[in-house]
Homo-oligomer: A and B are copies of this chain.
């Protein structure tokens, strides 16, 4: 495998902030010179980028937990890459995880890299998923914010997505009754048959809410990846002291005018709460969580599915899949033309 260092790189930058949906004008592809690494810097070839619903928030111009991506800036994205130049802490050929963005090659400081050495029971892509931010988000959201207890009823929206499917499995491992909400019959089948959750509802089926009311009735923890009307419905289904974990709101990411929550009065009568969280606030507990997740993987207790697309230029339309319910499991895009070792 040749690890040649190019003098230029293709990248996709933010061209125009979308009002509602990402469209053909939101991003633009270009070729720019690749900066020669200075002291403490290396060149990294980007092999795979992870696509995540939070990215819609990163291109919105509003007060948030990270500054928005600027117009003209490379679109921000977590990625798996291969180091092409030697430095103190990493060597040519090392596999690394970092915020490389939508680009073929990047010049970055070595201190921003996380060198990975996949154990035999994993593959490198797990570090963009279960052993990366997705797994940590599911872990802290369900255990720390949701405070799930054995025997409780856990409902997960966006259940067939990367975070959702991980939360579903963590829920089962922790002794909860797990109900998944997804947008297609084959996703529901995968959740029940392969992941072993107790029940799944297709929110595109007419009458799914009535079926839920009759069959499941109420819930203790709602892990919400979707927001909007689904969240509003489940506010009417809370048990006493229920916890709603706000992880994302895919239904809202793309719209400035989604319908609001009308059933929040139930929070009073049920002494319940809606709580948002950011995974980065739990950084001091990452190693504990990673060890727990790695142990479950090693014991064969966690399944994962990757939805792999290809092509840097096509990243914008691949990202749109997340908001169209087009993926099952973790959505990643293969960037490098070279055969990446997994």
A interface vs B, CB < 8 Å?
57, 63-65, 227, 231-232, 246-249, 252, 258-262, 264-278, 281
State the number of copies, please. 2
Give the docked Cα–Cα distance between A262 and B260 (Å). Answer: 4
Chain B, residue nearest A272 (CB): B276
Q: Which residues of B contact A231 (CB under 8 A)?
A: 264
Chain B, residue nearest A263 (CB): B260
Q: Which residues of B contact A278 (CB under 8 A)?
A: 268-269, 271
Q: Are A267 and B260 in contact (CB under 8 A)?
A: no
Give the docked Cα–Cα distance between A273 and B277 (Å). Answer: 9
* Least distance between A219 CB and chain B CB atoms (Å): 14
Q: Which residues of B contact A262 (CB under 8 A)?
A: 258-261
Q: Which residues of B contact A281 (CB under 8 A)?
A: 271
Pairs across A and B, CB under 8 Å, 18 listed: A57-B269, A63-B269, A65-B269, A227-B264, A232-B260, A246-B264, A247-B268, A249-B268, A252-B265, A259-B260, A259-B262, A260-B262, A261-B261, A264-B274, A265-B276, A267-B274, A271-B281, A273-B276
Give the docked Cα–Cα distance between A173 and B204 (Å). Answer: 53
- Set B246, B258, B270: member contacting A267, Cβ < 8 A: B246
* Least distance between A244 CB and chain B CB atoms (Å): 9
Give the docked Cα–Cα distance between A270 and B246 (Å). Answer: 11
Q: Which residues of B contact A274 (CB under 8 A)?
A: 264, 267, 273-275
Chain B, residue nearest A258 (CB): B262
Q: Which residues of B contact A277 (CB under 8 A)?
A: 268, 271
Q: Which residues of B contact A271 (CB under 8 A)?
A: 276-278, 281
Give the docked Cα–Cα distance between A273 and B342 (Å). Answer: 40
